[in-house]
Structure 1
Amino acid sequence: METLEAVTDIILETLLTSVRQVIPVPAAAQIPEVFQNSVAQSDIGVLVGFTGDLYGRIVIQGPSEVFGKIGETMFGMPLEGEMLHSFVGELANMVAGNTSTLMSSKGQTIDITPPTVMVGHLQLYGIEQGISVTVHLENAGEINIILLTQH
């Protein structure tokens, strides 16, 4: 049986692969950082839970401008306001859904929850431990991918 740390590494690796497959621009991930207690957000983010063989949450967050550039790259038009918020939720849905599919090929069955879009300054508490990875997207900027696993 694999350790929680090994399973977390597999999920994180698969999640980053999914980001690279879904977002159509070159992406470079920095070294993952472990954190505890809380997650802070200053602009826009989205949370998707996953259940099944594994339990946890994925948070994708970053500046509105970066998500706007991703949306423009994918759809050929600038996105703002509610259209941008909807896009951020759908982007997370695509990433999490693709991650679920990739994990099934590794023998892990996970289902995802509907995305929850979070706009503005906020802090998520009650986090035992998480992993954060900054991903640089060429010609768009940086987003943070956060993986919160539960024991």
Structure 2
Amino acid sequence: MATINVDHINPFLLASTKILKEMCSIDAKIGKPFVKNPIFLADTMVILIGFTGEMKGQVLIAFEHPVACDIASKMMMMPVEEMNDLSRSAISELGNMIMGNTATVFSTKGIAIDITPPTVGKGTMSFTSSFAQNICIPLEYEGGNKIEINIAIKGDR
């Protein structure tokens, strides 16, 4: 399996922290990247967005249920205690904004990518692919709340 060029991880992190700040007023702290087998437990919500073009791969943005509710609350500016269609739509749009911004950052570096529509899942899930190893970068905010950005890239140049 191929490895990921570190320069290709930074645009995802830049976009993620920027969108979390702008849309949710979250100052996320970037944690230490690690290789992770992309398996998620029952209480986890995952946004899956693929990308194609000069680089191909997928991003899995994972939140435990309380964190997903907190982020949806901040986006919708109202309390969210359980995820419903509206709050799932907000979370899905967050993923779309992060990846759209990521594509813009890559374009400034001369790398063109297109993103797929987001898919949101909840529950026990595992993902396998022929991409590079899954690199997980935790983003932490407000007392230990954590968002995991999982990145796997094929055809890294």
TM over 0.5: yes
Given the alignment, which residue of 117, 120, 123 partners 1:117?
120
Q: Which residue of 2 aligns with 1:14?
A: 11
Q: TM-score, normalised by structure 2?
A: 0.84
Give me the identity figure in percent.
29
Q: TM-score, normalised by structure 1?
A: 0.87
Q: Which moved more, 1:46-55 or 1:131-140?
A: 131-140
Q: Does residue 105 of the first structure (1) align with residue 108 of the second (2)?
A: yes
CA contact (8 A) 2:138 2:147 kept: yes
Q: Counterpart of 2:109 in 1: which secondary structure?
A: coil
Alignment of 1:15-30 (within 5 A): 15-24=12-21, 25-30=26-31
- CA drift of 1:39 comes to 1.0
What count of residue pairs does the alignment treat as equivalent? 145
Given the alignment, which residue of 136, 142, 149 partners 2:140?
136
Q: Which moved more, 1:16-25 or 1:79-88?
A: 79-88
Q: Which 4+ runs in 1 deviate beyond 4 A?
A: none
CA distance in 2 between partners of 1:5 and 1:121 (Å): 26
- CA drift of 1:137 comes to 2.1
Q: Which residue of 1 aligns with 2:54?
A: 53
Deviations along 1:84-135, one digit per CA (max 9) or x if unpaired, are: 2212211110000000011101111110000011111111123551101111
- CA drift of 1:139 comes to 5.4
1:69 partner letter: D
Q: Counterpart of 1:92 in 2: which secondary structure?
A: helix
Q: Does residue 40 of the first structure (1) align with residue 44 of the second (2)?
A: no
CA contact (8 A) 1:44 1:61 kept: yes
- CA drift of 1:74 comes to 2.5
CA distance in 2 between partners of 1:98 and 1:140 (Å): 25
Listed as ranges, the gaps of 5+ residues in structure 2 are: none
Listed as ranges, the gaps of 5+ residues in structure 1 are: none
CA contact (8 A) 2:58 2:151 kept: yes
| Distance of aligned partners of 1:140 and 1:4 in 2 relative to their CA distance in 1, 3 Å threshold | closer
The CA RMSD over aligned residues, in Å, is 1.9
